[in-house]
Amino acid sequence: MNPSPSSTLSPQDSSKANRDLFDQSALSDLAQRLVEAAKRAGADAADAVAVRGVSQGVEVRDGRVEESERSEGDDVGLRVLVGQRQAVVSTNDVSGDAVTKLAERAVAMARVAPDDKYVGLADPALLARDFPDLDLLDPDVPATSELERRALEAEAAALAVKGVTKSGGASASAGMGGMVLVTSTGFHGSYLRSSQGISATAISGEGTGMERDYDFTSAPHGADLLSPEVVGRSAGERTVARSNPRKVETCKVPVVFDPRVAGSLVGHVVGAINGASIARKTSFLKDKLGQQLFARNIRIIDDPLRKRGLRSQTFDAEGVAVKKIALVDEGVLTTWLLDCATARELGLTTTGHAHRGVSSSPSPGPYNLHLEPGTPTPAELIADIKQGFYVTDLIGSGVNGVTGDYSRGASGFWIENGELTYPVSEVTIAGHLFEIFKSMQPANNLEFRYGINAPTVRIEGLTLGGR
């Protein structure tokens, strides 16, 4: 076991170490110096990102700690523009005259890069000016001993479930990530976000009859986590429920998605409206903006400003102000997800969805996504299904974003006369995303536990491929 600094420092030293991690002034100064150095080296425009990542985690199995680790690091990236040419460079070494050399190298690379008429920094009029407090940083950083306790309790709870034969391991983690963005147009913004998590995996049965399942919880604040006991018990109960699965005949039936997998349907929508795919004409939704694709009660929301959200932030990777937006409203597709470059290519305005790492240029992506709940309870949603399939796990990525064809391996439970009966495994569910969107019916049990959240969802007439 490798002890983390938080378990070996005195309380006073540990508190100071945490304060140092929360202080981004040195990163802000570094990003500013990079931008200034790029301008001196001949860049027409530039922006710099400095990213901080800190994580610690503990993994346990059979009541013992298997692994304990901590990592910590700062990285910086510089994007420069010379005319309509762009280059991006990154480093984690800024000692000595490294800032000047990095800027000179970036400008030299940009001068020999191909022209791209869509590159450029964000319009200053679109830049964020207000930075509301989204309560993303938990000042109480758990020590390694606390992470051990959480992981051990989760594992013990899983093993206590009748029918669980062994542990698949449990873990607990805590970390922090943040970004500073400085641009040559005068933008200067930063954020920090903490993260904590607990997970457990349980195994039932023996030999070829073994089944495995898991559960987990994650949140920026430790107070918002499910308890280790709840996570472990859920993992054990899910595993035991999968014991002795059957196969079913190929058929066409209603398919109901458990909340843990229903978010994948939202993910397929969002992947298809990514501005990069629209600009390349590689999305099956490329001609569907403004059209009715879902029932009128369907709303899909992206909310970067949700307090304590897993993906919340007040500005995007180009400094553009972000806002809560309905991607689908009353069943109508309302927008693409755009950064500045894809917006220019499509003749539109950025939607503030730029994301980037230190070694890449911006590209569009979502924040906190959710499908708004419907009115029926999950029980009411399946009550009239004489024969159907309730999905708890999806396997593989057989979704074609160009054509909209959908095919995924799955396991779950057979529905008979409105009730879940026996477990089912080794089946595929197939259809087309247009038909899936059209028949989507959400239940009322939305919870915010993941980056993409959805209630239980019913889809009509999917093909279930069995024996």
Cα distance between residue 92 and residue 447, in whole Å: 39
Task: Name the nearest CA neighbour of 48 among 27, 66, 26, 72.
Answer: 27
8 Å CB contact between 84 and 119: yes
pLDDT band at 206 (very low <50, low <70, confident <90, very high): confident
Residue 227 φ then ψ, to 5°: -70, 155
> 47, 34 in Cβ contact below 8 A?
no
Q: Which of 82-96, 135-149, 223-237 has the lowest mean pLDDT?
A: 82-96
What angle separates helix 228-241 from helix 144-159, to the nearest 10 degrees?
30
Report the range of poorest mean pLDDT among 5-9, 115-119, 229-233, 349-353. 5-9
- Sorted by sequence, the CB contacts under 8 Å of residue 311 that are 6+ apart come out as 304, 366, 367, 368, 451
CA 462 to chain centre: 27
Question: What percentage of the chain reaches a pLDDT higher than 70?
Answer: 96
Which pLDDT does position 344 carry in this prediction? 97
By the 8 A CB rule, do 164 and 158 touch? yes
More confident residue, 2 or 375: 375
Mean pLDDT of 244-266: 95
Query: Does 94 have pLDDT greater than 80?
Result: no
**157, pLDDT greater than 60:** yes
* Digit-coded pLDDT (tens) for 15-32: 555 666 778 888 899 999
Query: Comparing C-alpha atoms, which of 453, 452, 454, 449 is closest to residue 230?
Result: 449
Spell out the residues 6+ positions from residue 250 whose beta carbon is closer than 8 angstroms to its own: 463, 464, 465, 466, 467
Whole-number pLDDT of residue 19: 62
State the amino acid at position 333 in one-letter form: L
Owner of token pair 């940083």: 137
pLDDT band at 6 (very low <50, low <70, confident <90, very high): very low
Whole-angstrom distance, CA of residue 130 vs CA of residue 153: 42
Amino acid, res. 179: M
Question: Strand locations in 154-298, DSSP E?
Answer: 164-183, 188-204, 211-219, 251-257
Task: Compute the average pLDDT of residues 337-342.
Answer: 97
Q: What is the pLDDT of residues 354-407, one digit of tens each?
A: 999 999 999 999 999 999 999 999 999 999 999 999 999 999 878 999 999 999
Are the C-beta atoms of residues 16 and 28 closer than 8 Å to each other?
Answer: no
Distances (CA, A) of 120 to 51, 318, 364: 21, 10, 15
Give residues with Cβ within 8 angstroms of 270, minimum separation 6: 300, 302, 327, 337, 366, 369, 452
| Contact partners, residue 362, CB within 8 Å, separation at least 6 | 316, 317, 318, 339, 340, 341, 354, 355, 356
pLDDT of 93: 80
Give tens-digit pLDDT for 412-459.
Answer: 999 999 999 999 998 999 999 999 999 999 999 999 999 999 999 999
Strand pairing class (325-329; 332-333): antiparallel
Q: Minimal CA–CA distance to 258: which of 99, 408, 114, 389?
A: 389
Q: Token pair 């378990």 is at which residue? A: 7
Mean pLDDT for the chain overall: 93
CA distance 174 to 278: 37
Count of H-run helices and E-run strands, the chain: 11, 19
DSSP conformation class of 466: -
pLDDT tens-place string over residues 36-58: 999 999 999 999 999 989 999 99
- CA–CA dist 426, 430 (Å, integer): 13
Residue that has been written with the tokens 């074609």 in this structure: 400
Provide the 10 A C-beta neighbour count for residue 289. 15
pLDDT attached to residue 26? 87
**Per-residue pLDDT averaged across 111-130, rounded?**
95
3-state secondary structure of 355: strand
Output the pLDDT for position 20. 66
